[in-house]
Amino acid sequence: MAYNRKAHLRHYIEAIRIAFAFDKEKRQATDDEKIKQAIYSGFGGIKAVLNPAAKPEDITHWKTSEHDLFPLVTELHQVLRDGTKDDAEYKRYVSSLKNSVLTAFYTPKPVVDALTLALNNSGIKAQQFLEPSAGTGVFISSFKKKRSEC
């Protein structure tokens, strides 16, 4: 299945909206929200978020092939504005998001599962480790699953 930037961007906006709700409402995630949060894997494949999207005419600076993402990127910025306390915090979030486009890389589950299997076959049984997948749980869930199969 091909990577669908539009679908991923839609999921990421929802994940960010939920994260802001946790913070504002000082509560834990529901099971449904946990599932929606787990989909988040970073903006690495969605370079359109680097484009300006403050006003409708900004679309003229976008590649034609990315025009379909303009409404979603605009929505993303609105969610960030609504969720932050001031313009400085909003700008920090946008800067962080833009940096993640250039530095965040999603590790597919089959790659993580192969790594888990290779470590287990080598006799290495990880009990504790740093989750390198930005807290999405891809690594830890693979290691937990492999441990329960043993």
Say if residues 148 and 120 touch (Cβ distance below 8 Å).
no
More confident of the two residues 146 and 32: 32
pTM of the model: 0.76
Torsions phi, psi for 143 (to 5 deg)? -65, -40
Say if residues 105 and 97 touch (Cβ distance below 8 Å).
no
What's the pLDDT band for 44 if we cut at 50, 70, 90?
confident
- Residue 81's SS3 state is helix
More confident of the two residues 149 and 112: 112
The pLDDT of residue 136: 67
Question: Whole-angstrom Cα distance, residue 102 to residue 63?
Answer: 18
Type of residue at 74:
T
The pLDDT of residue 32: 93
What's the pLDDT band for 95 if we cut at 50, 70, 90?
very high
The pLDDT of residue 13: 95
Question: Whole-angstrom Cα distance, residue 20 to residue 85?
Answer: 11
The pLDDT of residue 148: 66
